Copies of this chain bind each other. A is one copy, B any other.
Amino acid sequence: MIDRLCIIGVGLIGGSLARALRAAGFCKEVVGGGRDPGHLQQAVDLGVIDRFDTDLAAAVAGADMVLVAVPLGAMQSVFSQIRDHLEDNAVLTDAGSAKGSVIEAAQQAFGSVPAWFVPGHPIAGTEYSGVAASLPDLYRDRRVILTPLEHTAAAAVERVRAMWEAAGAVVSEMDVVHHDAVLAATSHLPHVLAFALVDSLARLGDTEELFAYAAGGFRDFTRIASSDPVMWRDICLANGDAIQLLIDRFIEDLHLLRQAVHEQDGARLLELFESAKQVRDAFVGK
């Protein structure tokens, strides 16, 4: 149980957690923190949070659990603002999509990474953003990865785990570097490719005419290109090394495929497509 949860950044991710914990009766009070009072008032009006404070020092006062759910580029600033105002019993966690950079931000802000800070990442979302898009069941049966360091307090990890489990998530732990490599592959690279594809096609000219003839496959394939640009800019900056490595490998693989098209090598194309279909069908359990 949480007595007072403070969520800094009440958008899709933070708002959905608040809704889930309230629905589960796991949390007595939710206080929102952030920069935009209009946005935070909307969260109050929607019943997602009880009250808010744009002064983050005041927002975290009295909270036994603090979740920072802001874009990665804002993490260090938030940590610095709350550093001297957290309760002694408070556990701090975050929801950033890359973990190495958040740990670095915590180190910078706190001098060293606190034992009661548990880096976390809920692997859930939609292409929508903002508190109005938040859903009480966003985390139901979804994965949450925690990446505690060696000196992270076991009790703090357990409290964060219990919070996400109360929201319906399946929680696991992973090494920071491994997390960032895995997510670069399954999330960051696909998002980068979706953005790049839409940009690339837009440069061809008349997008209205072009997209008029696009089918459902294109709609699905580009869905993630409607995601929040600021969040994705920050992810590309925060996990740049892993993402670059994967872009490079992808470009190499795409060159091979292009070569097979150029050489009219039907056998090679069939092999590539069959292998991809097999892997993808296995993934969705066909």
Does residue A196 face the partner (Cβ distance < 8 Å to B)?
yes
Given contacts A201-B186, A211-B283, contact A247 B254 (CB under 8 A): yes
Question: B224 near A217 (CB under 8 angstroms)?
Answer: yes
Write the nearest CB–CB distance from A169 to chain B, whole angstroms.
12
A interface, how many residues as a size bin? 35 or more
- Cα of A207 to Cα of B77 in the assembled complex, Å: 37
- Residue in B195, B217, B275 whose CB lies within 8 Å of A273: B195
Contacts A255-B251, A258-B244, A261-B240 given; does A269 touch B233 at CB 8 Å: yes
Cβ < 8 Å to B, chain A residues 190-205: 190-204
Q: How many copies does the complex hold?
A: 2
- Distance of A232 Cα from B266 Cα, bound (Å): 10
User: Are A197 and B207 in contact, with the CB atoms below 8 A?
Assistant: no
Is there a chain B Cβ closer than 8 Å to A107's Cβ?
no
What 1/0 flags go to A227-238 for Cβ under 8 Å of B?
111101110110
B253 touches A254 (CB 8 A): no
Contact B270 A233 (CB under 8 A): yes
**Is A222's CB under 8 angstroms from B280's CB?**
yes
Distance (Å) between the CB of A135 and the closest chain B CB?
A: 12
CB < 8 Å: which of B199, B211, B257, B280 contacts A272?
B199
- A contact set with B: CB distance below 8 Å: 73, 123-127, 142-143, 145, 182-183, 185-187, 189-204, 207, 209-230, 232-234, 236-237, 240, 243-244, 246-251, 253-255, 257-258, 260-262, 264, 266, 269-270, 272-277, 279-284, 286
